[in-house]
Structure 1
Amino acid sequence: MYIASPERYDNMKYNRSGRSGLLLPAISLGLWHNFGGNDLFENGRAMVRRAFDLGITHFDLANNYGPPPGSAEENFGRMLRQDLAAYRDELIISTKAGYYMWPGPYGEWGSKKNLVSSLDQSLKRMGLDYVDIFYHHRPDPNTPLEETMAALDLIVRQGKALYVGISNYRPAEAREAAQILRRLGTPCLIHQPNYSMMSRWIEDELQDVLAEEGIGTIAFSPLYKGILTDRYLNGIAADSRAAGPSVFLSEKEITEEVIGKVRKLNDIAAARGQKMSQLALSWVLRGGKVTSALIGASKVSQIEDAVASLNAPELSTEELEQIEAILRG
């Protein structure tokens, strides 16, 4: 029988999400990969338990996470029942809808039909009455934004989610979504964009929009698909994600130019007593603009490394300048 560590809150840092009352752990765990029906259940279970023992209270899912789609939510529901049911009020559980999930005209995008139906399915798979955060996963170019945001507002009023957020929205779309939700009386809690040393698009206006609107930021892929680790410093290992048939990362993305930058960054990490992955997380969380870094993991030690990155000293002005020179070089 699992009993959570009594020291689970001793070392984790918690940050306020925008102008809300909600605190999120600086490191959150995403279940996009390695928690589906094609993965080893006990490995995923061990990672979730260890994450909670380290103070990670936020577990991020989506309707289509797996593979197969839906299986990550089903497996997480089993973990809740077996291990975490007694701790439900200590957890922030999020899910999303917007990408393709089932056939026909209502199985994706941002109609009220899709969002309400998808969340009902997600709650059933996880065995929950509500999620803490429900996201619209991507903008829908063909559905009025007013309809999509009204659906999020309805879901909160129905008690199926405590908060709502958006993901993959560009600056103008994010501002408009936030203003619509505010008028409806259900503020936008958080935005989930991809952000890392190698993907910095949110620095061009989006971060300013989110600060002005009082919206938190949770960065997914802060390790840039695993490239910002020591995994590829000496070539592509046969058992790596890039060497396989993954649609998530291709060998073409691991260029000599990119790895050359990672090697230089790794030297800075080593001088700080960090791993490359830890430096990447320290950089994403620098300055307090990002509420939480959303990591993926395939083994427990990766979660331990990520949480340990929070114990490192703040990046100095000199270190930030060195990193900037490498990234722009």
Structure 2
Amino acid sequence: MKINDLEPLKTYLADESRYDHVPYRRCGKSGLLLPAISLGLWHNFGHNSDFNNARIILREAFDLGITHFDLANNYGPPYGSAEETFGRIMNKDFESYRDELIISTKAGWDMWPGPYGNFGSKKYLVASLDQSLKRMGLEYVDIFYHHRPDPDTPLEETMGALDQIVRQGKALYIGISQYSAEDTLKASQILKKMGTPCLIHQPRYNMLDRWVENGLLEAVEQEGIGTIAFSPLGQGVLTDKYLNGIPEDSRIAKDGRYLKKETISDTLLLKVNALNKIAKGRNQSLAQMAIAWLLKDPRITSVLLGVSKASQLKENVSAVENIKFSDEEIKAIETILN
């Protein structure tokens, strides 16, 4: 890891006005409130990232009232390293603020070799969370997710593992990610019978990827489940970064694992530029409008953002200042997207 311990940061004291910046929304029908903006540690917290920059991002987030930090067992690189980085920062800066934080992690994707380090068996989920807690130096997480559906493991086993984890005190709440509407309803019913309701669903959702509108949002509303949208900016497409093509220093130019160059088509660029014009008319950046567009729906509890520098957080948090859209704006956006 690129650790700048030669230039240690000053002792952290949280901003006293930290709860004045973002609204908090009730997560489904639970007692839990989440900030409208949450921070994801998918990128920029691995061993290949700058440790002090990671600390500065987390400090800035909390100072802005972002109380929810979202991780997963395989975030890095390498796998596990984002949790290790977070654990170090937690120990240095946030130990006294633990009861003001919502810390979540997940398991469901490949994590270690062999048949027990992937998908949704009880063996994998319980072992993975034990490892995550050790890496982060925590006694429990606030939310533990099954990270993706497993087509081969019975849903009763996966949900039973989540129920067991809560009953053991290793997580306060449980959630699911990327489940279809049908499987969400099934999972929710199984968990209700066990007495551990599903708190939250984490789907990929943005202006360019709207699969959740085909039944999932209705399902979570019916079941009283909260929703937190990841990839709200489409891996950077819904920002001003690609308005004129692909810059050399962009993530897509350096790392094509999650967003490929061929996806930035002329047709897509025309759509993004048209959306940008509407954003300007709202006195927002394209990123701010994309976030606001998600938050206009009360079924969206929180929007999960990842950033590479603290200044991006300040800009993006400003999106909450205007989440209302006129009928004309909605119509214009739909015309562009359809």
- TM-score, length of structure 2 as denominator length: 0.96
| Residue number in structure 2 paired with 1:296 | 306
Query: 1:243: how far off?
Result: 0.9
Query: 1:314: how far off?
Result: 1.1
Which structure 2 residues correspond to residues 94-173 of structure 1 after superposition, within 5 A? 94-173=104-183
Aligned-partner SS, 2:18:
coil
Q: Does the 8 A contact of 2:107 with 2:147 survive in 1?
A: yes
| Residue number in structure 1 paired with 2:95 | 85
Query: 1:315: how far off?
Result: 1.2
- Between the two proteins, the alignment pairs up a number of residues equal to 328
| Residue number in structure 2 paired with 1:322 | 332
Q: Does the 8 A contact of 2:295 with 2:323 survive in 1?
A: no
| Structure 1 unpaired stretches of 5+ | none
Q: Deviations over 1:21-68 (max 9, x none)?
A: 000000000000111111111111110100000000000000000001
Query: 1:250: how far off?
Result: 1.1
| Residue number in structure 2 paired with 1:287 | 297
Q: Which residue type is aligned with residue 20 of structure 1?
A: S
Q: Is 1:52 matched with 2:56?
A: no
Query: 1:287: how far off?
Result: 2.6
Q: Is 1:311 matched with 2:335?
A: no
Q: Is 1:205 matched with 2:232?
A: no
Aligned-partner SS, 1:287:
coil
Moved over 2 A (4+): none
**Alignment partner of 1:190 out of 185, 200, 207:** 200
Aligned-partner SS, 1:6:
coil
For 1:98 and 1:318, the matched residues in 2 are separated by: 42
| Residue number in structure 1 paired with 2:22 | 12
Which structure 2 residues correspond to residues 10-49 of structure 1 after superposition, within 5 A? 10-49=20-59
| Residue number in structure 2 paired with 1:247 | 257
Identical aligned residues as a percent: 61
**Alignment partner of 2:72 out of 49, 62, 68:** 62
Q: Which residue type is aligned with residue 136 of structure 2?
A: M
Query: 1:245: how far off?
Result: 3.0
| Structure 2 unpaired stretches of 5+ | 1-10
For 1:313 and 1:24, the matched residues in 2 are separated by: 17
